[in-house]
Amino acid sequence: MVSAAAGFLLVLVVTRLYETEVAGVFFSATSMFLILLAATTLGTDAGLGRFLLRYEKQGNGAEVPLVIRAALRPVLAASVLAAVVLLASADSLAQVLGLDDSGGAVLRALALVLPVAALNDFYLSGTRAFGRMRTTAIVDKMFRTGAQPVLAAVAYLVSGTLLALVVSWAIPYVLAGVWSYLLFRKFTRERCILPEGSPSQNYRLVRREFWVFTWPRGIARLAQIGIQRADIIIIAALMSPGDAAIYTAATRFVALGQFGTQAIGQVLQPRFTVLLTQGERIALRDVYKTSTAWSIALSWPIYIIVGCAPMIYLALFGEDYGGSNVNLVVVLMAVAMMVAVFSGPVDTLLLMSGRSSTSLINALIALGVNIALCFFLVPLWGLPGASLAWGLAVSIRCMLAYFQVRRQLAITPVGPQVGLAAGASLMAFGVPLLLLTVFNVMEPVNFLMASAMGGVVYTALLWTLRRL
């Protein structure tokens, strides 16, 4: 929750303190950085999670350093290579992306940080692979994401320039990278006590086994971050950085709603694995339906509240971030996310059932749809075209996974719990907020009162229906 709130706060600080064009260049450049970061980490988080703890539990501690070496070297090489290419092409790339004259300097600054950020992700993935989630929570979710909005505000007070803003955003990556390295080094020295003798496998075999498993996950992660960030870059290139800033602000609520569903997905991974291994299809079906109901219960209220009052939500970012077209962006995004959540943790179920290639294909299809439709719809309809492209891509991915799970496992998320959770959300929040819109009394005070009363009614409904 801290990470999602800090991400929203960062957008709020940038849009409130900096000019729209500056904010747009910042969001576009950092989106490019995050895509490159996902590409250069090569999916090693999944590979480390699969092999490190397994080798240790099997008594093959000698293989652990081999896995770390096999994973670390390509990440380091890929991140350094990407940084060099970005340094060399920063000015021309900034022109292609529609960034202003300072865009080249911004991209060069981010290029210098890219290897450190990739290593930060790698070392945190290594500690998580041994089941130590607290390190990631403290270093990344709390420190890095929490420091970025604070330093962005400090940068405005000290300088107020775009370069200062980008440097303030990058500094926490550097500090987190050093911190995570020291913690990982200490942790492995304390935990990886190698047995006498040589490893049971040679380095080449370990490396081959690791990357055969890992590379599809790397592509899937790249596709995932591409779906999340590519539209921002395309809008900056086809329209302007200012429009990219408006679009980023209009869509930031999506991450707040995803917090609950992502947490549920992480908890479900081992549970799904156990049930699938034991062949308990009835229990699997019940867990799937219950988790879908909880996902709806946690996320739908956010999407309904924002979708029913987009003008009030957008007012948080300033007067430059409103308008009927932007309101439509918010509504389309909210509807798309409600559809996606209704399918439940279906991608997690696909992965845990051994169908990672199917999940990868779904992600690539969604990414292709998103990019293709963005290039087609943005010139025609502007920001609503980008949100429609994104919404269709996300919905297609979820619907593909829904029908694949239904066909292969013969289960669906549809059930009484899901209907009750959806109905309670619509009744408690959707109905009163839509009435305010119909009677043209959607003012901030009325909105807050309706939302607060809806929260009380919603809590009472969930409590009453919890055993049904």
Q: What is the DSSP string of 123-151?
A: HHHHHHHTT-HHHHIIIIIIIIHHHHHHH
Instruction: Please answer whether residues 155 and 23 qualify as being in contact, where contact means their C-beta atoms are separated by less than 8 angstroms.
Output: no
**441: number of Cβ within 10 Å:** 12
Single out the residue of 402, 467, 422 nearest to residue 296, CA to CA: 422
Q: Residue 377 corresponds to which tokens in the numbers above?
A: 């719809």
Instruction: Report CA-CA distances (Å) from 419 to 130, 221, 372.
Output: 38, 32, 34
Alpha helices in 239-280 (DSSP H): 241-251, 253-278
Q: What is the pLDDT of residue 57?
A: 62
The CA-CA-CA angle for residues 419, 312, 438, to 5°, reads: 60
What amino acid is encoded at 387 in this protein?
A: S
Q: What does 162-182 look like in DSSP terms, one character per residue? A: HHHHHHHHHHHHHHHHHHHHH
Can you give the pLDDT of all 468 residues of the chain as single tens digits?
677 788 889 999 999 999 999 999 999 999 999 999 999 999 888 788 777 766 666 666 667 788 888 899 999 999 999 999 999 999 898 888 777 777 889 999 999 999 999 999 999 988 887 777 788 889 988 899 999 999 999 999 998 899 999 999 999 999 999 999 999 888 877 765 444 445 555 778 888 888 887 888 789 888 989 998 999 999 999 999 999 999 999 999 998 888 777 777 766 766 776 787 777 888 888 888 888 988 999 899 999 999 999 999 999 998 888 887 899 999 999 999 999 999 888 888 887 777 778 888 999 999 999 999 999 999 999 999 999 999 999 999 999 999 998 888 888 888 888 888 999 999 999 999 999 988 888 899 999 999 999 999 999 888 887 665
Q: What is the pLDDT of residue 193?
A: 46
For residues 180 and 196, give the distance between their C-alpha atoms in angstroms, rounded to a whole number: 29
The CA-CA-CA angle for residues 252, 103, 121, to 5°, reads: 55
Q: How far is CA 51 from the centre of its chain?
A: 24
Q: What is the pLDDT of residue 66?
A: 83
Q: Does the pTM of the predicted model rise above 0.95?
A: no
Residue 289 host element (H or E): helix 281-308
For residues 319 and 321, give the distance between their C-alpha atoms in angstroms, rounded to a whole number: 5
- Mapped onto helix, strand or coil, the DSSP state of residue 202 is coil
Instruction: Please answer whether residues 286 and 412 qualify as being in contact, where contact means their C-beta atoms are separated by less than 8 angstroms.
Output: no
Angle between helices 383-409 and 324-342 (to 10 degrees): 10
